[in-house]
């Protein structure tokens, strides 16, 4: 932490904290040794100073932003390679430094080299033969080449089967011919594709002997390794400026009859023989592994951004004073306003809720993988359904949380120096990438509708949907119980009720003559809501159970505040969803009024610990990167310091005065 | 409209439209002659080509963006001045060209000269004496000087009484000494203040004869008129990059004992005499006029941005195809997905709802002003309460609408060439400026609580809160009626119920020993909700009633679709607020299921008219400024054309390859 003078309000807040902040930090990291490790890694990377910009990148042109991103990403890769050689560590450092909070401290608006590690190498690992791996992964890992991964096209996104790019095998030359048959077939979006990567994995429809075999992966060289010039037939460039992620160098790629050797098809699973014979792959559900990994990483990323946002907004709210509700008293800290607590505290709880849920899902995946080894694939669809809705709900909640924190900082949250707008840009992007959220919710809904139908029959239900039987069994729901577990139960009842209504509505529409697909479509608004209700139930239960487990060895002081957070989260969502509870449970108006009171009392109880709770996320100033949120609370000084970095402020009079303003004022323009 | 080839899907959509699009356009504009006028004005401004950028501004550096904004704003002022001289028109052209949709077409991310017209001149008009007006307005109107308006400070926003800047009268020299006593006293945010304006109205605490008389307005010269250099004691600069509005040149201003003549205090109301005597102003509620005007303009602005966003997202959804729900059929237009209709159609309705409500409020204000003339100020607090909640709800709804439209365009909505992110930046800013939304909702709540107390007594209630008596009178609410007017009634019952609960909770907390202020604070989350419920009730009623009136002379075809939109809006909000209806009315589960069905059927009914409805907003491509939303639907071609404008795409190999990437790959970095 910086040694400068700390804002008096923050000193006061920290002295009021009832629990040991370090204890909570260790709990979040998963143990004191892991906190230690993280801190060492942060120190090691940040002391290099790669993250320090002379002029903040928001003042640069789009092109300069890219050039700065390349500089930083290259220096980081160099550092990582050196580190790797010195310590012979595994991938952890790469992951920690490229993704996650630390990575975003250095390349705050995305990196043009991320996909090299996040998609290019993993796809080679997952889909290349042993020989292909030996050759390509060696080159990639050593950064002799820079790769990316191109799937999405200008006209085709989440629906992968619709991709247009073709890879046609020519047995005469033993080559594949890659081709973009139309403008909408152009690859569009891959990070690093525009001006950075010289190799690319291209997903394309495989044709051999006149037959289409669906989507397969091909390695295509894009640029000359020496000159970096695009190779013949390769139309490559960037897709233009975006809401955020302007450091990622997202690109487009058109292929004009580009020939690649047969060996450049990744053939671990399916193969094309020299004569053009297609050899099918044994059914492989193993790609679930990568997908689960990506989704869990994504949920954790969301937690990092939420943690940054609530840290900033909470510290700012402790420093900022406003208004004068009582005539003769000074302006209170805005953190004392209950409306402000309402905006922030649920965000603090959300970080914990999603972090614990992501861990839980990952553990479950690992257990299920063990079952997989013995050929038992029964739980894969359940896992898939869970990861879909958890991705959708966590990204949507995180976007809302970050934006709410930004707005809670009033006008100052609108300044880029608050770092809240940039965080929002990165978080909201996740609502549409890696599967668009509405589409994902409908995938989960498909699973839930099936589960409902199974529940109506005799089949056994997988654990996370077993609650459905409560409703299908026709047993009357127990009377509403407003304890914590009663509320969590109620969410399950709601989810089951909503799924049941969807099924009934689909059937009704079918009886009226609609096809199943049309009846599904007509019900789809309700289906997404059922899917979300399912996810909320799981989240509440998981957060509660995992906190209980996590707290077993915690001090009573910490246990108390963590359980207040769980209470807050559950009661908050109960009040948000009170209409659902009124529809599907026997909750009464008196219950609701009591819950509202419970909620307000929880806000008051958490108030003295608010700053301690965000301090415990232990986000270094360099990573938080916010004038409003720094540990020392020198909010106004930092806002001014940041403003003075604007190149516009380097000159008292801008040249446009002489060119336009003065002639305008003198009637000479 | 452009004469290029129109996308086949859009041609099909337009041929399906059941009503006359021009008829609706005329209705929205307020008459065919007003449509004509608007179109002429648009043509006149756009044919100048000021809006055409060689390189889109999103690729420029922050400084270049400012320089471009000055260039465009100056050329526009020049055009307006010429126009003014030629046609001797009033302020309408200024308003239309500086604010509103047309203005945003030219300066898409804000203008550094807007506050000159929007705040500087109006404040001179409202607060200057006749002599002051004669001198200053003449200079300002002729753009001999450029002014802005500085109120907000680094440490002080919505709470105006907390401002720190002082203006101390010195009778010896007959001057005011303006001073910023601390860093937090620096003015912060005013548009154009940084490097553009040479004069400024400064709001400061007036001190004379050792006594503070509160906030008054002073004209301060900031820069030399010839050299534009800041005058002695003036610390001025820009506040730095923001989420949006990077063309507005928001600035800071520190004053170091700056002396201005006594005549530079705006003295229409209060005065300081030569000897320092303070002469109080007759109570002036007339500033309501400006405030109402600004809020109505703001709500209309919100409508413009919503209209742009739904136009873009709806046309894109007609052009975009995705997925294959039925095996042997082609990929459907995404507009056929009910989840997509759910995201878009309520946005179309919202434009109409808020536009009609803004007009209604403005008419009401004008009627009340007539009463004011005769000294009757009774309805002013009601108007104030209405304008507060309408500002809060319209800006929040607009932000959500624009963002939902952006997300409904999937990844492509994230491209700046969609224009959706920039619109969001402008709209979300309005959630915190001109009064932070939560603070405004609480102001309305104060009025509602008072009204409740009056209702309990014998006093008469003003019209927009008269519904409260329904609940306070103890009469049982009539049985739930799910007709349109029944639903609107139910919203009033909900609002009254929520206000009543707040009052009860405040009283309860007071009985438990809290002060009124603390009890209010503890209840404030509920108070904001009551305030929003009140606003929703008013919005639904107004939208319904005004549409009925507006449609009197409309064709049956148009009347039908407009009434479907009203139905959709009311049913949408009923389903959103179903928990409230369950709590405060006798709505049943069967009612809810019927309403859900009604909602889905309305989506289906509106589906064929969706493109026609957004076409009727009649937004020229130059104003829409979106690759996804242009009239011709050449979505993919335009995305690529826009991408190719990126300066990064001008060179096949960026210099950073030679500087960093190549050395990295060759192990030489």
In a domain, A129, yes or no: no
Q: Is residue B658 part of a domain?
A: no
Same domain, B596 and B455: yes
b vs e for B395-427, b when ≥16 Cβ sit within 10 Å of the residue's Cβ?
Answer: bbbbbbbbbbbbbbbbbbbbbbbbbbbbbbbbb
Q: What is the pLDDT of residues B272-325, one digit of tens each?
A: 999 999 998 765 555 566 777 788 889 999 999 999 999 999 999 999 999 989
pLDDT at A89: 66
Nearest to A648 among B66, B437, B636 (CB): B66
Q: Are residues B451 and B590 in the same domain?
A: yes
Residue A236 domain-assigned? yes
Is the pLDDT assigned to residue B350 strictly greater than 50? Answer: yes
CATH number at residue B408: 1.20.140.10
Q: A236-270 pLDDT, tens per residue?
A: 999 999 999 999 999 999 999 999 999 999 999 89
> CA of A601 to nearest chain B CA: how many angstroms apart?
9
Give the closest-approach CA distance of B241 to chain A in angstroms: 6
A607, two tokens = 């108030």
Which amino acids of A are annotated catalytic?
A: 434
Asked whether residue B490 falls in the same domain as residue B503, the answer is: yes
Residues A238 and A325 placed together within one structural domain of the fold: no
Task: Decide: pTM greater than 0.90.
Answer: yes
8 Å CB contact of A66 and B654? yes
The verdict on a CB contact (< 8 Å) between B582 and A579 is yes
Is position B120 within any domain? Answer: no
Q: Please indicate whether residue B434 is annotated as part of the active site.
A: yes
Domain boundary among B281, B308, B341: B281
Q: Please give, rounded to a whole number of angstroms, the shortest distance from the CA of A30 to a CA of chain B.
A: 35
Identify whether A95 is part of a domain. no
pLDDT at position A25 over 90: yes
Q: Is the pLDDT of residue B29 over 50?
A: yes
Whole-angstrom distance, CA of residue A251 vs CA of residue A110? 14
pLDDT of residue B104: 83
B354-386 pLDDT, tens per residue? 999 999 999 998 888 777 777 777 788 899 999
- Choice among A132-136, A249-253, B85-89 with the minimum mean pLDDT: B85-89
Give the CATH number for residue B189. Answer: 2.40.110.10
pLDDT in tens, A632-661: 999 999 999 999 999 999 999 999 999 999
Question: Residue A482: which pLDDT band, with cuts at 50, 70 and 90?
Answer: very high
Least confident of A326-335, B37-46, B369-378: B369-378
Q: Do residues A626 and A598 share a domain?
A: no
Let me know whether A494 and A528 are in one domain: yes
More confident residue, B4 or B79: B79
Nearest to A155 among B228, B636, B662 (CB): B636
Residue B392 maps to a domain: yes
Are A580 and B579 an interchain contact pair (Cβ–Cβ within 8 Å)?
yes
Region B390-396: what's the mean pLDDT?
Answer: 98
Q: Are residues A359 and A414 in the same domain?
A: yes
Average pLDDT over chain A, rounded to an integer:
93
The single residue listed with the structure tokens 């589906």 is: B607
C-beta atoms of A525 and B241 within 8 A:
no
In this prediction, residue A1 carries a pLDDT of 44
**SS3 letters across B380-444:** HHHHHHHHHHHHHHHHHHHHHHHHHHHHHCHHHHHEHHHCHHHHHHHHHHCCCCCCCHHHHHHHH
- B57 falls within a domain: no
**Facing residue for A592 by CB, picked from B337, B583, B665:** B583
pLDDT in tens, A573-626: 999 999 999 999 999 999 999 999 999 999 999 999 999 999 999 999 999 999
Partner residue facing B342 (CB), from A431, A525, A645 = A525
Check the CA dihedral B647-B648-B651-B652 and report its sign: negative
Local confidence band at A369 (pLDDT 50, 70, 90 cut-offs): confident
In-domain check, residue B600: yes
- Write down which residue in B245, B260, B281 finishes a domain: B281
**b/e sequence A630-658, b meaning 16+ C-beta within 10 Å:** bbbbbbbbbbbebbebbbbbeeebbebbe
Phi, psi of B245 (to 5 degrees): 55, 40
B-chain residue closest to A226, CA distance: B662
Mean pLDDT of chain B: 93
Model confidence pLDDT, tens digit, residues B204-241? 999 999 999 999 999 999 999 999 999 999 999 999 99
Does A224 or A1 have the greater pLDDT score?
Answer: A224
Q: Are residues B452 and B569 in the same domain?
A: yes
Cα end-to-end span (Å), chain B: 54
Cβ-defined contact of A230 to B652 (cutoff 8 Å): yes
Query: Hey, what are A432's tokens?
Result: 């549409």
Q: Tell me what percent of the residues of chain A surpass a pLDDT of 90.
A: 82
**What local confidence, expressed as pLDDT, does residue A375 receive?**
72
How much of chain A, in percent, has pLDDT values that exceed 70? 97
Neighbouring residues of A133: CB distance < 8 A, sequence distance ≥ 6: A124, A125
* Percent of chain B whose predicted confidence (pLDDT) is above 90: 82
Residues B535 and B599 both lie in one domain:
yes
The contacts of residue B521 (CB under 8 Å, 6+ apart) are A325, A336, A337, A338
Residues A354 and A408 both lie in one domain? yes
Distance CA A376, CA B203 (A): 73
pLDDT over threshold 70, residue A107: yes
Cβ separation of B414 and A432 shorter than 8 Å?
Answer: yes
A511: containing domain: 447-607
Residues of A in contact with B528 (CB under 8 A): 339
Best CA proximity match to A507, nearest among A452, A544, A554 = A452
pLDDT of residue B2: 47
| Domain end position, chosen among A281, A301, A322 | A281
Q: Specify the pLDDT at position B409.
A: 98
Q: Over the stretch B65-79, which tens digit does the pLDDT of each residue have?
A: 999 999 999 999 898
Same domain, A331 and A471: no
> Which of A549, A559, A597 is closest to A575 using CA atoms?
A597
Instruction: Give the distance, in angstroms, between the CA of residue A110 and the centroid of all CA atoms in the same chain.
Output: 13
Backbone φ and ψ of A235, nearest 5°:
-105, 110
The domain tally of chain B equals 3
Which of A354-368, A450-464, B568-582 has the lowest average pLDDT?
Answer: A450-464
> Which residue in A239, A540, A193, A146 sits closest to B644, CA to CA?
A239
DSSP β-bridge partners for residue A415 = B242
Residues B275, B175: one domain?
Answer: yes
For A519-531, what is the mean pLDDT?
98
- Classify B454 as helix, strand or coil: helix
């Amino acid at each position: 932490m910086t040694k400068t003078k700390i804002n008096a309000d923050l000193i006061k807040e920290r002295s009021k904290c009832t629990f040991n902040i370090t204890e909570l930090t260790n709990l979040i990291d998963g143990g004191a040794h892991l906190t230690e490790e993280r801190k060492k890694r942060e120190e090691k990377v940040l002391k290099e100073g790669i993250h320090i910009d002379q002029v903040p990148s928001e003042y640069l042109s789009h092109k300069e932003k890219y050039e700065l991103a390349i500089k930083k990403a290259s220096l980081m890769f160099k550092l990582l390679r050196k580190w790797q050689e010195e310590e012979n560590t595994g991938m952890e450092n790469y992951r920690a430094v490229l993704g996650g909070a630390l990575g975003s401290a250095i390349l705050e608006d995305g990196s043009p080299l991320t996909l090299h590690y996040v998609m290019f190498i993993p796809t080679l690992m997952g889909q290349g033969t042993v020989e292909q791996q030996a050759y390509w992964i060696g080159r990639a890992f050593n950064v002799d080449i820079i790769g990316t991964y191109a799937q999405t096209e200008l006209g085709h996104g989440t629906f992968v089967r619709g991709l247009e790019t073709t890879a046609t095998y020519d047995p005469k030359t033993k080559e594949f011919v890659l081709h973009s048959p139309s403008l909408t077939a152009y690859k569009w979006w891959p990070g690093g594709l525009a001006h950075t990567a010289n190799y690319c994995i291209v997903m394309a429809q495989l044709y051999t002997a006149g037959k289409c075999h669906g989507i397969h992966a091909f390695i295509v060289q894009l640029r000359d390794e020496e000159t970096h010039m695009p190779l013949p037939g390769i139309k490559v460039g960037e897709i233009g400026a975006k809401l955020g992620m302007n450091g990622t160098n997202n690109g487009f790629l058109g292929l004009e009859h580009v020939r690649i050797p047969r060996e450049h098809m990744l053939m671990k699973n399916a193969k094309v023989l020299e004569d053009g014979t297609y050899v099918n792959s044994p059914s492989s559900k193993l790609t679930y592994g990568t997908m689960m990994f990506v989704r869990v990483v994504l949920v954790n990323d969301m937690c990092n951004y939420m943690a940054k946002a609530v840290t900033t907004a909470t510290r700012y709210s402790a420093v900022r004073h406003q208004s004068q509700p009582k005539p003769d008293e000074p302006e209170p800290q805005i953190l004392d306003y209950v409306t402000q607590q309402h905006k922030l505290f649920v965000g603090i709880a959300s970080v914990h809720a999603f972090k614990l849920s992501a861990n839980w899902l990952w553990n479950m995946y690992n257990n299920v993988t063990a079952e997989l080894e013995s050929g038992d694939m029964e739980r894969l669809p359940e896992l898939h359904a869970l990861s879909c809705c958890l991705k959708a709900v966590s990204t949507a909640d995180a976007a809302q949380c970050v934006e709410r924190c930004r707005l809670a900082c009033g006008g100052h949250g609108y300044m880029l120096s608050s770092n809240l707008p940039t965080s929002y840009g990165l978080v909201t992007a996740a609502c549409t990438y890696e599967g668009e959220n509405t589409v994902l919710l409908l995938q989960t809904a498909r699973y839930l509708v099936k589960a409902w139908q199974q529940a109506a029959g005799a089949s056994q239900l997988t654990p996370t949907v077993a609650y459905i039987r409560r409703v299908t069994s026709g047993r009357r729901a127990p009377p509403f119980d407003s304890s914590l577990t009663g509320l969590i139960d109620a969410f399950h009842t709601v989810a089951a009720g909503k799924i049941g209504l969807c099924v009934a509505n689909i059937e009704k529409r079918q009886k009226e003559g609609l096809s199943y697909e049309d009846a599904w479509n007509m019900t789809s608004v309700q289906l997404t809501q059922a899917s979300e209700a399912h996810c909320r139930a799981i989240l509440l239960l998981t957060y509660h159970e995992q906190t209980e487990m996590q707290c077993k060895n915690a001090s009573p002081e910490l246990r108390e505040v963590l359980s207040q957070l769980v209470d807050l989260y559950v009661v908050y969502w109960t009040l948000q969803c009170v209409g659902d509870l009124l529809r599907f449970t026997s909750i009464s108006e008196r219950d609701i009024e009591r819950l509202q009171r419970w909620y307000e009392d929880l806000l008051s109880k958490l108030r003295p610990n608010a700053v301690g709770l965000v301090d415990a996320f232990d986000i270094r100033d360099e990573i938080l990167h916010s004038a409003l949120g720094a540990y020392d609370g020198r909010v106004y000084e930092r806002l001014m310091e940041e403003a003075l970095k604007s190149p516009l402020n380097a000159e008292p009079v801008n040249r446009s005065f002489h060119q336009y303003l003065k002639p305008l004022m003198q009637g000479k323009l």
